[in-house]
Structure 1
Amino acid sequence: MNNTPTQTSQTKEITAEKDSQNNLIKMDSSDKPSFYDFYLDEHQNMACRRLHFAGSSFGLIGLAKSVKNRSAKPLLKGIAAGYACAWVGHFFFEKNKPASFKFPLKSFASDFRMYADVLRGNLSLRDRKFDKVR
């Protein structure tokens, strides 16, 4: 059977498959964990999450200052401060290797998704028992 991805969402993938009479059937493979699930597993420690949140904030402040001043320097400083915070969180608190080493783009996107989930109240910076994601 022909299995081709037709749509990818944040948490599940819909695939199209043809049946014996060559009719197209949509299939949901939501049991497959997403990269974001892996990313959250790598961020269980609250100090690490807090450092990521602070680092992302530094990056956004750097972006805003860069736009305001029409200079790349604040953005570069914000990015450096952001990654420094995240890496301290991983090496000293989470005791794992940052996912950005293997998956830089997916990790960057997942970091801002995690940032948004914290702002929306879906992820806690106090205790995992208050998490609403998953």
Structure 2
Amino acid sequence: MSEKKYKSLKAFYPFYLSEHRNTTSRILHFIGTGLVCLAFFTGFLFHNWHFFLAMPVLGYGFAWLGHLFFEKNKPATFQYPLYSLASDFILFYDLLTGKQSFVVKN
């Protein structure tokens, strides 16, 4: 992992993308972030706090599996927790809208 200190999310996001180049890992991140969104809205709609407790497990569980087994790198969450969390949602949106592809070409 890079030791560079990022001063903005805009500067961090290219590094985040470089740590998420594996297709399976991107799919796992997409599923995890999608389930986090679903859990949030379900918890809110049904006033059930159990869904809110599940959010970190869903989001980090899928993402960390992607890093451990497919990216084979350490999640950026450990060094840049807020930038990494924001970048998860940016990547989710970019994948959803087609701005980013699930398949990264070298």
TM-score, normalisation: structure 2: 0.86
Q: Distance in 2 between the 1:64 and 1:89 partners?
A: 25
Identical aligned residues as a percent: 42
The gaps in structure 2 that reach 5 residues or longer are: 1-6
C-alpha RMSD over aligned residues: 1.6
Q: What is the number of equivalent residue pairs in this alignment?
A: 99
Which structure has more relative contact order (CA 8 Å, sep 6+)? It is 2
The Cα shift of 1:102 comes to: 1.1
**Paired amino acid for 1:64:** F
* Greater share of residues in helix: 2
Q: Among residues 66, 87, 100, which one is paired with 2:64 in the alignment? A: 87
**Which secondary structure does the structure 1 equivalent of 2:101 belong to?**
coil
Moved over 3 A (4+): 8-11
Structure 2 counterpart of 1:72: 49
Q: CA deviation digits over 1:76-125, x for unaligned, max 9?
A: 21321121000000000000000001111110000000011011101111
Higher CA-based Rg: 1
Alignment of 1:3-82 (within 5 A): 11=10, 34-82=11-59
The answer to whether the Cα contact below 8 Å between 1:62 and 1:79 also exists between their aligned partners in 2 is no
